[in-house]
Structure 1
Amino acid sequence: DTLTITAVNGDPDNLDQAISTSEGGTITVSADGSFDYTPPTDWTGDDSFDITISDGITSITVAIVIRVTS
């Protein structure tokens, strides 16, 4: 499955900006909603960031965990 980001902090105009993660990694969001993850230099372990999924009526916030192994 594909994860596409449609808004950052609830605002679709905030795409094309970087998001920090719990361990200092960076999520860079492109205008098309795709994203790239960059871990901190020389770091391994689990990193995470929260996303909110909404259908316009109900929403839920979940943590996305990325495991960096090398």
Structure 2
Amino acid sequence: MPAKLTILTNGSIKVEGDFEVCDPQGGVFNVAGKPAVFLCRCGQSAKKPFCDGAHKTCGFTSEVKASA
């Protein structure tokens, strides 16, 4: 299945399908066997680039809708 990214309202980016998560130098984060991961958008996660739920307490808000 191709990678699918879903921007969650007031939350993270859900990534599912066939994907790799890499750092700027090309290192690959170990996400093997995970059907989905959640990437931080608020900048407050202690587990960057992954979401740890910090957006729930830091006041982060964002509602994104695709335009046709």
TM-score (ref. length: structure 2):
0.35
Higher RCO, Cα 8 Å, sep 6+: 2
Scaled by the length of structure 1, the TM-score of the pair is 0.34
Query: Higher strand proportion, which one?
Result: 1
